[in-house]
Structure formats: structure tokens, C-alpha cells
Amino acid sequence: MNDANPLLQTWTAPHGLPPFADIRPGHFEPAFAAAMQAHLQELQQIAGQAAAADFDNTVAAFDRSGRLLARVEAVFSNLTASQTSAELQAVQRRMAAPLAQHDSRIYLNAALFERIDALHRRRDALALTAEQRRLLERVHLDFVRAGARLQGADRERYAAVMAELAERTTRFAQNVLHDENAWRLLLRTEDELAGLPDFVRAAARQAAVERGLADDAQAHVITLSRSLVVPFLTYSTRRDLRREAWTAWTSRGEHAGDSDNRELARTILRLRQQQARLHGHASYADHALADTMAGSRAAVQRLFDEVWSRALAAAQQEQQALQQQMQAAGETGPIEAWDWRFWAEKVRQARYAVDDAEVKPYFQLEAMVQAAFDCAGRLFGLRFAPRADLPVYHPDVKAYEVSDAAGRLLGIFMQDNFARASKRSGAWMSSLRWQNRNTPADGGGGRHAALGLAAELPVILNNNNFAKGAPGEPTLLSLDDARTLFHEFGHGLHGLLSNVTFDRLSGTQVLRDFVELPSQMFEHWLAEPEVLRRHARHCGSGEPMPEALMQRLQAAHRFNQGYETVRYTASAMVDMAVHARTEAEPPADLCAWEADLLRQAGLPPAVGQNHRLVHFQHLFAGSSYAAGYYVYLWAEVLDADGYEAFREAGNPFDPRLAERLRQFIYGSGNTLEPGAAYAAFRGRAPTVAPLLRKRGLLPEPA
């Protein structure tokens, strides 16, 4: 089987890319088995060698190990997120525990940890470079945080907890995808389509075609893709249908049956509490925050305190304006959560004469992609050359070779922009290979080279979930969609511009509350007038966005920010609160507990949340953002303060600042402590005032 398994063969496509067309779900389990066995043999050679431990034969060797497994895992995780199937999901469920058990075999390997620990204890005497020392410290901490110091029954229990967590988080994500795919709102009559502008109708018609309703000329479908449900909530005059869509969107994971996430989330919380206790922490939040810039719940709470009361006051003022608009239109009763976007759009049009139906034709998807590429070129000298001949996993995916100003190839970038039933919701960046220079010793032509493992060029992917335009018609983005595209592209640049030696320190593998800085920082360039003048052109006439419309957009950019800030911060507060609990048992009714917490915090019912616990994939489809959803706000302090440097320079493409941004933020990976990396770019520590001004929660200086 292995001889015919494309995952285990030489990848002969340009740049060592996977042979996606040849890969089948049945290839993964044997490939994982072979790759895990190969990895364990590599680790045994490191741990059992007679030579005394030194940096090269232990730490650098550990960083080089497992490349075959890494490439199989990368292909698998990208397919299960972006182009899944029932067969792949079954493999995902079966492999969750074995992969977690393999991680435990790595990090609970006593002989291997003994060598790493010995080097760590005498790190001051090893004459290491700064990057070597950083790798040693990070690898040592990885082992400690994975339970390497545990003994006896605690080690066994820890491994069992991590295996069960992997199974449960996999199921959680699959349940959310099930609920998203199971619901659709079918609209046929003009009454049901009332209020929807042409761009929403076109997207809903295309969604109907993609769901097998091409022969029903009247059929339009609203799905739970954000790019469809949010415009529907914004424009539909049918309040009953808005309520139906809102209820479906916010109740994902809360339906009795096989996809019910309520008890599953409680089980995940229970296991995380056991994990934290085994590490000696009172709560999972304490464990998670120990390896962050924030460092403690108290530091995160101080940030919440800076923002929450200001955001609540702003949201309450916004709600009054919406209520007045509603009453002026002859509607009675209170604003409900499914009403807010509808009436906010009416107020925005009245105050700023800004209408998405007028704005969207200037934000064509292809033009915004080119805008992002252009900004990367002006800042960092990058060039993106399309390569239609490179293998991709779906026809929607576009591949590019990325070169620097001197024409040197830096990496491969793949962009997958459209929503589909086989793809999870949201937007994300991922990798098929991290940039590094720590290639296997036989990189000149041995087994690793034959497998394509010696290449150091990064292969970076961006996924979005935009509603596709009809065949022959452009895909139009909202301003929020365009920001999402720039945000994920910022993550992509973080991977592509990485310039480090070691795989473990490459790209976005940084502390969680630093990782959102490069992505959120890049969003700022979308709003620059010179970028809009160059790229925001009408999809019909090709004319640039009128200056008057651009000025109205600039004037409206803080509109409704109380609402947006409260929604985000509420979700971050719930995340921190549920993971800060010290009880062994989670709340018996997680949904009721969540609602009560937010009621006590003063969340207006009309606002709602970004995410509820039962479908909060950031928290429960994996551990990366558990007790860490606050990181977007933390990073926004950095990005708002950082972009002030370009404003102070009077040039959004200031070459001196761009070079420092590339070197210390986008290029340094995890080779620098994040606070030091930011200070090296900015020349000082960040301040919170630019964030508050950006969100309209603090007046601009006179």
C-alpha cells in the first residue's frame, strides 16, 4: 500500500507541492501510520545516541525531525478544513486520538526530555546565538507544557486527557459544519426578497444554483455563510425572516441530536480543567495565559476594563439612534438582535449617505486581491505571479509564486476565497510548509530530498468564505469582507516573509496574543485613500471611486463601533470566564450560564454576541484560542499604535518604517520575544489610546 500511496512518494510537482489530484481519503491512515513510525525512529536516534547532548545533535535535530509527518498532517488539515467529505470526516474522527497519542509519545519521552532539559539548565554556558537560545527555550517550554515533568499515573492520565480532547474538539467542529449545511432559507417570491439589493439577490441566486436549484428560476437561498446571512440581516424588510435567519445563525450547535454541542463543550471544559490541574494551575485560563504576552488574567481584565464600559456607553447611544429611526418609520416595540443591522444601515445612510449597494460595486474581489498584492509590493517589494499549472485541491484555489524585489523566489501563496458546503465557516491562514533553513542533513540527495522535504520555501494558504458571483459576473465584497481579505493576507505575509533558521520558530508560530498583529496591521492599508483611488473601481464603468464617496466612507468608519466592540468583547469575556473557573465540573447548563454572565455584565439584549459557546470554534474546535479570544483586542492595541508610526511619518509606505516592519514583525517569526520585537519596530512600548480613538471610544486629540 505504501508503495502506491502518493502521500509517501516523491512529490514531483513544482516546488514539491502535493499531488492533490491523486490523494484519496483512504491514503491518509496508512500514511499517518508510516510517518508516525518514521518520526519515532528519528526521535529514538536523537534520544539514544551515545554522544553527549549538544545543540546540534539534540535541539536542531529535534527541529528537523518529523518532516514527513508534518507534510501529511498539513495536507490532511487543509483538506478537512477546506474541501472535506464524509469519508475525510470519518478519517478525521478515527485519527484524532492516535495523532494526540503520538504527540504524547514525543513530549513524554523521558530520555529525549532529559537531553533537552540538561541543555536548558546550562544554556548560559553553551555560547548559543540568540536564535539558537530562543529555539532551545521554546522547545524546552513545549515539552514542559505538554507534561514532560509529570511522573507515573499523572503522565498516563495526561496522555489520556489529550487524546480525548482531540476526539471531542474534532467532533465539535464537525457538528458546527453539519448545522451550517443543514439550514437554508429558501426565498422565491418578491415579498420574501423585499429590501434585498441586487448584489444580495445575485449571491442568493448563485447559492441556490450551487445547492441543486438551477432549474427553479425563482429560487434564492440564504445560507449561514457570513457573506450571505449578514447582508440578509442588513437589508431584508421581512422582520420575521430576519428573526428566522438570526435564530438559525446563533443556535448552531444547540440542537438536540447527533450534532448537539452542549454536552460536548462541557466535556471539553472538564478535560481542560483536568489538564490545567495536572500542570499545577487552578484553572485552564491560568495555564493558557502562562505562555502569552499578557501573562495573567489580571492583565487581560485590565484591557477589558479599558474598553467595556466605554463600548457599552457607545452602544447604548447607538441603540437610541436606531430606536428613533425605527419609530420614525412607524414601527413599534424594542429593537431586537435581528433588527440591529437593518436599522443601523438606515441610520448610516441617513447620517453619512453611505449605502452598501452603492459601495460594493467598487470592491470587486479580484481588484481587492490586486490591492493587497500592490500594498505588499510597495511595502516589501513582493511580486505575485499567478501559476495556473500548479496543483491545487479545488478549482476555486488560485496559486502564485512570490518573489522579492530582486526576483528571488520567496514562497508559494494559495488563495481560496469562496464559501461552499465542503468548507468550514470563517476565514483563516494555514501552511503546507514553513520557511526554514534547518533542512535534513541529507538534503543534497538522500531520502528526505527524494520526498521533497529539504525545500525551505514556505507554502502559505488563505481561506475566506465569500459568496460567489454568478458565472460571468464579478464577486462583490462588502467593506467588511475586504477587510477580512486584507486581514488574512496579513497572516499570509507573516508566513511568506519569515526569515528564520528553524522550523519551530517560523512564520505565525508565535505567542497567540502577538499573532494577530501582522494581520490586523495590514488591514489599515485598505482604508488609505491612495489605495482606494488606485484599486476601488466600479465593476461596470471601471471609474475610480468618487472622492465624495471616499470621504463619506472615511467619515462613517467609526459608525456602529460601540455595537461591534461590545459584541466582540462580550465573546472574549465569556471565553475568559468559562476557562477561569476552578470547579471540576462546568456549569450544568452552559447556555443559561453564558446568558446570565452577560446579563450581569450589562450586555444589551439587542446587541447579541459574535459567538456563543455552543458554536465557538475558536475555543472548542481546537485549543489555539481557548482562554485566548481576547488576543484580537490585545493585538489591536499594538496594530493601532503601530500604524500611528506611518501616520506620524506622513507616508503609509514609508520605506524606513516598512523595512523595520518587515524585519521585526513580519520576518522574525518567534526568534524574538514579542515585546522586544514590537519595541524594535516602534522604538517604544505600545499605548492603548490609538486603539480607543480607532474605535471611536476616545476623542481625537485637538
**243: which 3 cell numbers?**
428573526
Phi/psi for 340 (5° steps) reads -60, -50
Residue 586's pLDDT band (cuts 50, 70, 90): very high
Confidence grade of residue 609 (pLDDT, cut at 50, 70, 90): confident
List the Cα angle 476/376/203 in 5-degree steps.
10
Whether the per-residue pLDDT at 443 is higher than 80: the answer is no
Return the percent helix, strand and coil in the chain, to nearest 5: 60, 5, 35
Name the one residue in this structure whose C-alpha cell is 473557573. 581
- Full-prediction pTM beyond 0.75? yes
The model's pLDDT over 186-208, given as tens digits with 9 standing for 90+, comes to 999 999 999 999 999 999 999 99
617-675: pLDDT as tens digits:
999 999 999 999 999 999 999 999 999 999 999 999 999 999 999 999 999 999 999 99
**Of 426, 142, 177, 162, the residue nearest 268 (C-alpha):** 162
488 is catalytic: yes
Provide the pLDDT confidence category of residue 2 given band limits of 50, 70 and 90: low
List the catalytic residue out of 164, 318, 345, 488.
488
**In the predicted model, what is the mean pLDDT of residues 530-538?**
97
- Report residue 192: phi and psi, to 5°: -70, -25
> What is the grid cell recorded at 244?
428566522
Residue 549 CB: number of other CB atoms within 10 A? 18
Fold of 360-555: Neurolysin; domain 3 (1.10.1370)
Question: Could you give the CA distance from residue 505 to residue 667 in angstroms, rounded to a whole number?
Answer: 11
Measure the CA–CA gap between 557 and 554, rounded to whole angstroms.
Answer: 5
pLDDT, averaged across the chain: 95
Which CATH number applies to 297-330+559-694? 1.10.1370.10
Over residues 392-408, mean pLDDT? 97
* Dihedral sign of CA atoms 203, 206, 212, 218 in order: positive
Q: In angstroms, how far is CA 28 from the centroid of its own chain?
A: 25
Choose between 702 and 550: higher pLDDT: 550
Residue 488 one-letter amino acid: E
Beta strands per DSSP E along 248-352: none
User: Does an H or E element contain 340, and which?
Assistant: helix 340-352
Show the DSSP H helices in 623-663 as ranges.
631-649, 655-660
Q: Which of 498, 503, 456 is nearest to 664 (CA)?
A: 498
- Every domain of the chain with CATH number 1.10.1370.10 lies at 297-330+559-694
Report d(CA 297, CA 576) in Å as an integer.
8
Q: Please state the separation of Cα 549 from the chain's center in Å.
A: 31
Please state which CATH number belongs to domain 2-149: 1.10.1370.40
Interatomic CA distance for residues 574 and 101, integer angstroms: 30
Rg of the Cα atoms in the chain: 25
Distance from C-alpha of 15 to C-alpha of 53, rounded to nearest angstrom: 34
* Rounded CA separation 702/700 (Å): 6
> Where along the chain do the CATH 1.10.1370.40 domains lie?
2-149, 360-555
Helix (H, G, I), strand (E, B) or coil at 112: helix
Question: In Å, what is the CA distance from 338 to each residue of 125, 233, 254, 316, 590?
Answer: 63, 7, 18, 16, 23
Residue 445: pLDDT band (50, 70, 90) is very low
Reported as a single tens digit per residue, the pLDDT across 98-112 is 999 999 999 999 999
Q: How many CB atoms lie within 10 A of CB 74?
A: 18
